[in-house]
Amino acid sequence: MTPKTTTTSQISNEIITEEMTSKTYKIDFDRNRITDTIDGLESLKQTVYCILNTIRYENIIYSHNYGSEVNSAIGLDYDLAKSEIERYITEAILADDRFIEIQNYTTSKLNSDSILVSFDVLTSYGSTLNVEKEVGV
pLDDT digits (tens, 9 = 90+) for 21-57: 788 999 999 999 999 999 999 999 999 999 999 999 9
How much is the pTM? 0.80
Q: Which long-range contacts (CB under 8 A, 24 or more apart) does 110-115 make?
A: 110/134, 113/137, 115/73, 115/78, 115/81, 115/82, 115/85
Q: Quick one: CATH architecture of 24-136?
A: Roll (3.10)
pLDDT in tens, 96-115: 999 999 999 999 998 888 99
